[in-house]
Amino acid sequence: MSTEKILRVLSTPVTLAILLTLLIAGSAWGYMVITTKVAGPPPENCVPQTISVLEPSSVLVNVYNGGSQRGLAGRTAEILRTAGFRVGTVSNTETRVLTILIIGAAADNPEVLLVAGWFLDAEIQADDRPDHSVDIILGDSFNEETDYAADPPKSIEIPSGEVCLPRPPSTPEDEPTGDETPVNPPSPTSVPS
């Protein structure tokens, strides 16, 4: 058998082996790309502001239903919107809580305390979020008749005069509508039992 004939006989299996390897590698890469979660845009940093009193219109709240009561997040968001809060995301979340969980940059930040003042016995957690928005997660034991504060704060004093808050919308089109779906729903470090 001549060398030319041997090369011709071997070229077909070698070519098939190379193509099969490329097909397997391409399929593995495609599967990896399809199943990789895409991170949303990073939250914007807060904007330092000099104010003596923090009012709801400066606070961005996201309201999540962490239980099975239908419409709970929407009804609560409407109450907070009517009170003047800027309402961002209103949605369900996989994070399950029993009553009320409020998550903000720090537990003692004014925006967190103002929101917490609207609810009785809310658990507060900090997650060092850079935008200083406040998440509210409502659970199955949340009672709309008894778990809102009777006389919620309309504002909160800022003794230092300095506070860092989410960037205000520049136009009405930039204002959250409350219909957004969360990119990364909140996941507290511990869920009350």
pLDDT at res. 180 = 47
Beta strand 47-50 pairing with 162-165: antiparallel
CA–CA distance, 114 with 149 (Å, rounded to integer): 12
User: In the structure encoding, which two tokens stand for residue 56, read together?
Assistant: 């709801």
Tell whether pTM > 0.85.
no
CA atoms within 13 A on the CB side of 23: 6
Residues forming a β-bridge with 47 = 165
Indicate the domain borders of the chain: 1-36, 47-174
pLDDT digits (tens, 9 = 90+) for 91-103: 999 999 988 999 9
On the question of pLDDT at 181 being above 50, the answer is: no
pLDDT at res. 9 = 79
Task: Calculate mean pLDDT across residues 62-66.
Answer: 96
pLDDT digits (tens, 9 = 90+) for 19-57: 999 999 999 988 888 877 666 666 678 889 899 999 999
